[in-house]
Amino acid sequence: MAKSQNDLGRGSVGRLLFNMALPAIAAQLINVLYNLVDRMYIGHIEGIGDLALTGVGVTFPVIMIISAFSMLVGMGGAPRASMKMGAKDFDGASRILGNCACLLVVMSVVITAVILAFGRDFLLLFGASGNTIGYAMDYLAIYAAGTIFVQLVLGLNPFISAQGFAKTSMLTTVIGAVLNIALDPVFIFVFGMGVRGAALATILSQAVSAVWVLKFLTGKRTQLKIRMKYFRLSPSVILPVVALGVSPFIMQATESIITVCFNVQLMRYGGDLAVGAMTILSSVMQFTFLLLMGLTQGSQPIISYNYGAGNVERVKKTFRLLFIWCMAFAALLWGSIMLFPQAFVAIFSNSEQLSAISVWALRIYMGAAVVLGAQNACQQTFIALGQAGVSVFLAILRKVILLIPLIFTLPLLLDDKVFAVFFAEPVADILAATATVILFAYRFKRILKKKQEEVIPVGEQQAPVQAEP
């Protein structure tokens, strides 16, 4: 094994999960800063901070769509590559990587062209007002130009984690985040570029991270290498990747749609101030969600590799530990937010009016965030097992089937309209998590039993497969 690479098929599952999850959590924590530091600085610009923050918040749905397309490829391709490696088909794994890299480049060109052509129309549709559209366009126009860097970083970095190089994968986000944090105040305040400076700092940072990822995946340490002979779009490779990646894509893309729905309803009932509060609330939710994703991303290579190898006992043990850790982590985050909402709000704004409504709304909006631990553990395990159909259904359930209708119906039932809009989130979280856990309990054993029968024909199953120590 190469240095800093974890052996996914051997050793203590608990130690392996810790070794994989800790760098993934650290990477996501840094990634949170990466995504939120712009808003932190922008919210504190003298005189225009509130409006500028609201304007940048309106761009959030577009940015999430860009990320969603990268997750379509990365989260769809990396588990399949892990399964191929578990089955010792390294050439097949490299073929998946090459096709995914090609698809990311193609999508980047198309997305950039669409945003540059229709960006202003999108922003007005997503809740921008005459007071905030200028700031929103200043940010989005520059961000769109760097779409290819965002796509390559988010889409290819999972292939580094899939090989067990958890620390190397973490460094991808560390490099970009540190650079972004350093450049933001320089461009925003020293050069006086304001919102445009924040966007430029982000894109330059992503460009450096993209170079880091490409250098690794074309270097000597990687087992999965980007090869020109596989840099093409083969339907037999791409279609299964897209099928599996649809679930995380929908999860991220519907986040964009959800933000639009929240902004439209809050603008209707609460104006720019309520939309600004939503920017802060969605940022805190992103913080919670991404840290949980760090745990699940750490487990994904372990589950996928051992599932591909037919070692179902290691799969079971990994999931049990993952579920416990996710619930404990979610409980810790939820408790911190409920007890100290002011601390989270103060990161993004020093406005008394905006802070007052944000603190009040945060406790409502994040009221059931603890159940996100169970939701993420079960849903991401479905993805790691290659269960595309189930994953898609669960992704649609929480956001499309439950949350969107609640955003529009609850204000019709409750007197406090702004409260009703925020209250839609915890109601949807509880219902979706309950359904996910029940479905997982029903499907998990059946999935593993089928895999075991594939590895050991029914007539030869004299004893269950033993777990490795």
Average pLDDT over residues 116-135: 88
Helix axes 195-217, 49-58, angle to 10 degrees: 40
What CA–CA distances, in Å, run from 289 to 61, 297, 301, 369, 378? 16, 12, 19, 9, 14
> With contact defined as beta carbons under 8 Å apart, do 252 and 68 qualify?
yes
Q: Is 243 exposed, middle or buried (0-12, 13-18, 19+ CB in 10 A)?
A: middle
Instruction: Give residue 2's pLDDT.
Output: 47
Please say if the pLDDT value at position 462 is more than 60.
Answer: no
Within 10 angstroms of residue 97's Cβ, the number of other Cβ atoms is 26
Q: Is the pLDDT higher at 409 or at 85?
A: 409
Please report which confidence band the pLDDT of residue 35 belongs to, taking 50, 70 and 90 as the band edges. low
> Percent of the chain, pLDDT > 90?
49
Please report which confidence band the pLDDT of residue 215 belongs to, taking 50, 70 and 90 as the band edges. very high
Please say if the pLDDT value at position 426 is more than 80.
Answer: yes
> With contact defined as beta carbons under 8 Å apart, do 285 and 22 qualify?
no
Please report which confidence band the pLDDT of residue 31 belongs to, taking 50, 70 and 90 as the band edges. low
Highest mean predicted confidence (pLDDT) among 56-60, 219-223, 244-248, 395-399? 219-223
Q: Is the pLDDT higher at 161 or at 113?
A: 113
Instruction: Give residue 469's pLDDT.
Output: 35
Terminal CA-CA length for the chain: 19
Instruction: Give residue 203's pLDDT.
Output: 93
Instruction: Give residue 34's pLDDT.
Output: 64
> With contact defined as beta carbons under 8 Å apart, do 260 and 127 qualify?
yes
Lowest mean pLDDT among 228-237, 395-404, 418-427: 395-404
Lowest mean pLDDT among 122-131, 236-245, 412-421: 122-131
Phi and psi torsions of 186, nearest 5°? -65, -50
Average pLDDT over residues 249-262: 82
User: What 3 state SS string does the chain have?
Assistant: CCCCCCCCCCCCHHHHHHHHHHHHHHHHHHHHHHHHHHHHHHCCCCCCHHHHHHHHHHCHHHHHHHHHHHHHHHHHHHHHHHHHHHCCCHHHHHHHHHHHHHHHHHHHHHHHHHHHHHHHHHHHHCCCCCCCHHHHHHHHHHHHHCHHHHHHHHHHHHHHHCCCCHHHHHHHHHHHHHHHHHHHHHHHHHCCCCHHHHHHHHHHHHHHHHHHHHHHHCCCCCCCCCCHHHCCCCHHHHHHHHHHHHHHHHHHHHHHHHHHHHHHHHHHHHHHHHHHHHHHHHHHHHHHHHHHHHHHHHHHHHHHHHHHHCCHHHHHHHHHHHHHHHHHHHHHHHHHHHHCHHHHHHCCCCCHHHHHHHHHHHHHHCCCHHHHHHHHHHHHHHHHCCCHHHHHHHHHHHHHHHHHHHHHHHHHHCCCHHHHHHHHHHHHHHHHHHHHHHHHHHHHHHHHHHHHHHHCCHHHCCCCCCCCC
CA proximity to 161, closest of 248, 244, 69, 77: 77
Please say if the pLDDT value at position 405 is more than 60.
Answer: yes
State the chain's mean pLDDT as an integer. 87
Average pLDDT over residues 140-166: 92
> Tens digit of pLDDT for each residue in 346-358?
888 778 888 899 9
Instruction: Give residue 49's pLDDT.
Output: 80
> Tens digit of pLDDT for each residue in 279-308?
889 888 877 777 788 888 888 888 988 888
Residue 326 amino acid letter? C
> Tens digit of pLDDT for each residue in 365-391?
999 999 999 999 998 899 888 887 787
Please say if the pLDDT value at position 360 is more than 60.
Answer: yes
Average pLDDT over residues 435-459: 81
What CA–CA distances, in Å, run from 385 to 79, 398, 435? 8, 20, 19
Please say if the pLDDT value at position 313 is more than 60.
Answer: yes
